[in-house]
Structure 1
């Protein structure tokens, strides 16, 4: 959910596992900087720690050992830099979406339960999860979207999601929102997924898929993933 999207811990093992997986889209890089800070990113940038506002999330521990996240660089704490963008949203991605490995069995019970509750095809829910986070339950985006289906805090609150970082709650909220978009756009999956990415207002204003390169790439790739998951 672009107008909606985040990463977290346990960082090292999780990210290094993802870094070699074609299913995750572009490579996630681990960079150790001269000050000892560590960065995990799938964002193309020549200057990983450049000051680019909302494009960076800092993960650090305060003096009490509490893990915190901030858009501002911590002054007196070691930190990890997290820069994560929706896996299926980069128009220049070189991933072959017709062959990239699928996540065929992850969160089956949660997806089936949520899909049945909101009358959404579970294959579509799974395709959106794959496109949004590549099934990373701890995904955090620079803009604040959270979890598997990348729910923005305000959207999660409206959907009654207490903790978007809990997989079951996130999937239920995302399936609910996806069902709302399908109802609004009369079952048209392309328009519904375009709304999931760019917002329903943008789809209505443009009377169709908005002319945004990211949204058009996203809709096309979700469609491919949906077809593939439905065929399993």
Structure 2
């Protein structure tokens, strides 16, 4: 809501109160499905692409292999664009009376063709690739700069949580304007597809030509990312040790 309309936290809370609890979790199904699958793709495909690149392109440096594998994993994640598309429509108040739920929204969009599910695809690709490069490139570096947990198992879990939380909050904030552009592109239904440049200019003008207003709601976003990516990173390391020890 704050990302899409650029309103303050207080205004967003007031609007939620007016709309009632029934709309608080509106559109929750798509992100539940998308987040689970995309995280699996992100970690799993990064590992697989890395192995393939090392096998077929052994002359590549470790840094180049990491960057390319992370970018390819991000591009693979982008196939889940329809989930983000449906979520954005359901959470926009102007569509509350038009779309009932995820299934209904999916059926209604089918009238415009398969392409309609992939509005904002370029924005997602430009977000996913650099985000993955930053995450996988800095994950180990951040952890090594934290206090040495020694042999303490809970110390390692805490280190993984902190490193993941820091990176999640940092990356989500850096990429926030791209998400704003993506959200505005995905609230369009039917008609020509707007480019990122055109959408950015429209949003920039609508927000009083103040670039800082493109970060409206970023504090809520990085708080959520702080917790979620801390849990994701720590869980990944635990599962990695359990499955491949």
TM-score scaled by structure 2? 0.28
Give the number of the structure whose residues are more often strand, by fraction: 1
Greater C-alpha radius of gyration: 2
Higher relative helix content? 2
